[in-house]
Amino acid sequence: MPPRYRHVLVAFDGSLDAELALAHGVALAQASHARLAVVTVVPPPPLLSWQAPGGMQGVHDSEQAELDLRLRAAADKVPDDLSLTTRLLDGDPAREILRAARDGEHDVIVMGSRGRGRVSAAVLGSVSNHVMHEADVPVIVIHRPRRDDGPDLAA
């Protein structure tokens, strides 16, 4: 018998993998008659953003506005028959996703394997990897399907 979840948390950053994770989270919530929460985390600005117009605060505010729009667009895709909450959080993405899962008493986390992250993601490590290893609940990591048909020999 498959597990029955009551509270599904989807980590969403607007990337293609996050879109796929949202679709899986919606299907899981529908199948389990669960509540769905979608969280987006505004990461800290990169270290050199003080040089950008508006400085670090300007970069943060711009990222926050963009992610808020993406979160609203994601919420619009969720069927009306699901109980939905959305949250826009600030801070380290992995830490905030884990905190949201604990605080919301979610029993599963769904997220994409790769986000829209910057080059710093390669240095700091994968958010999904960190969440997977630190979560107290199951984590479903969605990978984009590969289109590996081999080399294009017609060229």
Distance CA 73, CA 59 (A): 21
Question: pLDDT (tens digit, 9 = 90+) per residue, 116-139?
Answer: 554 444 444 589 999 999 999 999
First to last CA, the chain: 50
Tens-digit pLDDT string for the chain (155 aa) = 567 899 999 999 998 999 999 999 999 999 999 999 999 999 887 666 556 666 677 777 888 999 999 999 999 999 999 999 999 999 999 999 999 999 999 999 999 987 655 444 444 458 999 999 999 999 999 987 766 554 444 43
Domain residue spans of the chain: 7-46+56-142
CATH architecture classification, 7-46+56-142: 3-Layer(aba) Sandwich (3.40)
State which amino acid sits at residue 94. A
Whole-number Cα distances in Å, 47 to 2, 39, 52, 55, 116: 45, 24, 11, 10, 17
pTM of the model: 0.83
